[in-house]
Amino acid sequence: MPEIRFYNRKPVPMEMHKVKIVQKLTLLPAQQRLEKMQEAGFNTFMLHNGDIFLDMLTDSGVNAMSDNMQAAMLRADDAYAGSETFYRMRDKLEELTGIGNLLPAHQGRACENILAQYFVKPGNVVVMNYHFTTAKAHITRLGGRVEELVKEEGLIPKSTLPFKGDIDLEKLKAFFAQEKDNTAFMRIEAGTNLIGGQPISFANMKEATDLARKAGVISVLDASLLQDNLYFIKTREESMKDFSIREIMRKVSDLFDIIYFSGRKFGFARGGGILVRDEALFHNMEDLVPMFEGFLTYGGMSVKEMEAMIIGFDETMDMDIISQGPQFIRHCVDELDAMGVPVITPAGGLGAHLNAREILSHIPAEQYPAGALAAAMYLAGGIRGMERGTLSEERNPDGSERIASVEMLRLAFPRRVFTLSQTEYVIDRVKWLFDHRDLVGGLRFVHEPKTLRFFTGVLEPVGDWPQKLIQAYIADFGEDQ
Ligand SMILES: *Cc1c(COP(=O)(O)O)cnc(C)c1O
């Protein structure tokens, strides 16, 4: 479905679904939000969902299911071994990708664990367009390292480049010339998460996988965010516009030796899986599934979720459905951009990304501007986003901070969850916060975990800025909201 046009010509995203079941939301009074943020150690991961008005932390496992997905759950075939549900899932994925060898896993990072366990040896390198937190953590845990070769322009916050997730092919060629024997695999991430949900073009994936094949290096697609990427290939890549989403899906799949995905995103449910083209390699990798995930026909997933996901895969091939996310995100990003709020452009998939480095340029990188912006966003309206910046990095071996190349607050748009008026509220509160950015200060660790510190770390504000911010908020909106 092309965008619905309004008589007044204003581009407005339209919900192509109606609401059938709802969950009540609460908006805590401002002062109470301050208390909840203090209890959560100024880490939005530690907030209770009931204390949040709009949860835009992630699109992982929180997308709305359709009536057809829910209906399918009733026919789930519970069996420890040989579940019919598994074979239906395998067959659906084979229909879409041409690969019928499926290793099931309970979520995306479980796939990353299995891939790293199988391929990564100490001293190895995994070359990629850009890292994802959990993918990198599994590789480095096993003594490997990552080499990120995303095009330089991909890291520039404000841009008009349609495919900021593209890998630099010249650098990739040079890399393979030096390092191919030491390379565990090449990992291409669709909808490149940490640079703002930015897509990679089909043409770039094709050239990168050709180079890998010539170098004798296995190519792996992280398809977790492929949904948005398919939409962007169809709408932004001139040579691909006449292909259906299903055809693009197949063309992309045909490029790779291995495809893995988080079913918490791809498929709108909860689960994951690895598709392995080579039969012998598939059987060699099989051993790891019963050890870490569960028997080979469920891999730690609920069969109900698997049935829902099978329908979700088909819905992912429906342009009406997959255009919702990017259109709502573009509306949010374009409105904020027009108001002068520094956002990552062009709008990508996954969510709206605020450029915290620029918004809070008075906060030193070591005091986590994006983390501070995440805390401030909850105070200013009960909106929970996710820090994507230095706080999400791990320290250098010498203990110094590794300053992230991009410092963002991500406001994710879980699919089919929020309405336009809720989106307008988000735009409004972001603008308010931007106008009061001078009131926001930094954060420092009270308790700092060694790995993936952003998940459970406890922080405190540098100074009493949260109180001052709440006072300003109450002065504008009153005590009760
Ligand atoms: C979310 C995500 C993962 C991890 O998936 P989980 O199901 O959350 O473990 C891996 N890669 C990308 C690109 C993701 O966005």
pLDDT, tens digit, 9 for 90 and up, residues 388-431? 999 999 899 999 999 998 899 999 999 999 999 999 999 999 99
What is the C-alpha separation between 314 and 415, in angstroms, rounded? 15
Q: What is the tens place of the pLDDT at every residue in 251-264?
A: 999 999 999 999 99
Atom of ligand 1 nearest to the CA of 350: 15
Residue with tokens 């990353």: 112
Phi-psi region of 475 (alpha: psi -120 to 50; beta: other; left: phi over 0): alpha
Among 198, 262, 454, name the best residue to mutate to test ligand 1's pocket (greatest count of ligand atoms within 8 A of Cβ): 262
Neighbours of 453 (CB within 10 A): 19
Q: What is the tens place of the pLDDT at every residue in 115-125?
A: 999 999 999 99
Please tell me the least confidently modeled range out of 10-19, 86-95, 308-317, 454-463: 10-19
Q: What is the pLDDT of residue 2?
A: 65
pTM here? 0.95
How far, in whole angstroms, is CA 349 from its chain's centroid? 8
Q: What is the pLDDT of residue 451?
A: 84
Q: What is the tens place of the pLDDT at every residue in 13-46?
A: 999 999 999 999 999 999 999 999 999 999 999 9
State yes or no: pLDDT of 218 exceeds 90: yes
User: In whole numbers, what is the pLDDT of the chain averaged over residues?
Assistant: 96
Q: What is the tens place of the pLDDT at every residue in 266-317?
A: 999 999 999 999 999 999 999 999 999 999 999 999 999 999 999 999 999 9
Model confidence band, residue 185 (pLDDT cutoffs 50, 70, 90):
very high
Q: Average pLDDT of 425-454?
A: 96
State yes or no: pLDDT of 1 exceeds 90: no
Phi-psi region of 123 (alpha: psi -120 to 50; beta: other; left: phi over 0): left
Among 45, 58, 109, 452, name the best residue to mutate to test ligand 1's pocket (greatest count of ligand atoms within 8 A of Cβ): 109
- Ordered strands of the 145-148 beta sheet: 102-105, 272-276, 258-262, 219-222, 183-189, 125-128, 145-148
Q: What is the pLDDT of residue 324?
A: 93
The pair of three-digit structure tokens given for residue 346, joined into one six-digit string: 């062009």
- Catalogue the active-site residues: 80, 132-133, 222, 265, 388, 454
> 132 C-alpha vs ligand 1 centroid, how far in Å?
8
Q: What is the pLDDT of residue 5?
A: 85
Q: Average pLDDT of 85-100?
A: 98
The dihedral sign for the CA sequence 86, 89, 95, 97 = negative
SS3 annotation, the chain: CCCCECCCCCECCCCCCCCCCCCCCCCCCHHHHHHHHHHCCCCHHHCCHHHCCEECCCCCCCCCCCHHHHHHHCCCCCCCCCCHHHHHHHHHHHHHHCCCCEEEECCHHHHHHHHHHHHCCCCCEEEECCCCHHHHHHHHHCCCEEEECECHHHHCCCCCCCCCCCECHHHHHHHHHHHHHHEEEEEEECCEHHHCCECCCHHHHHHHHHHHHHHCCCEEEECCCHHHHHHHHHHHCHHHCCCCHHHHHHHHHCCCCEEEEECCCCCCCCCEEEEECCHHHHHHHHCHHHHHCCCCCCCCCCHHHHHHHHHHHHHHCCHHHHCHHHHHHHHHHHHHHHCCCCECCCCCCCEEEEEHHHHCCCCCHHHCHHHHHHHHHHHCCCEECEEECHHHCCCCCCCCCCCCCCCEEEEECCCCCCCHHHHHHHHHHHHHHHHCHHHCCCEEEEECCCCCHHHHCEEEECCCHHHHHHHHHHHHHCCCC
> 312 C-alpha vs ligand 1 centroid, how far in Å?
17
Share of the chain above pLDDT 70, in %: 100
Q: What is the tens place of the pLDDT at every residue in 325-351?
A: 999 999 999 999 999 999 999 999 999
* 262 within ligand 1 shell (Cβ under 6 A): yes
Q: What is the pLDDT of residue 253?
A: 98
State yes or no: pLDDT of 3 exceeds 80: no
Model confidence band, residue 79 (pLDDT cutoffs 50, 70, 90):
very high
Atom of ligand 1 nearest to the CA of 190: 13
What is the C-alpha separation between 463 and 466, in angstroms, rounded? 8
* 132 within ligand 1 shell (Cβ under 6 A): yes
Residue 25 near residue 382 (C-beta atoms within 8 A): no
Q: What is the pLDDT of residue 11?
A: 83
What is the C-alpha separation between 251 and 241, in angstroms, rounded? 13
State yes or no: pLDDT of 452 exceeds 60: yes
Q: What is the tens place of the pLDDT at every residue in 143-182?
A: 999 999 999 999 999 999 999 999 999 999 999 999 999 9
Q: What is the pLDDT of residue 281?
A: 98
The pair of three-digit structure tokens given for residue 323, joined into one six-digit string: 């255009």
Atom of ligand 1 nearest to the CA of 272: 7
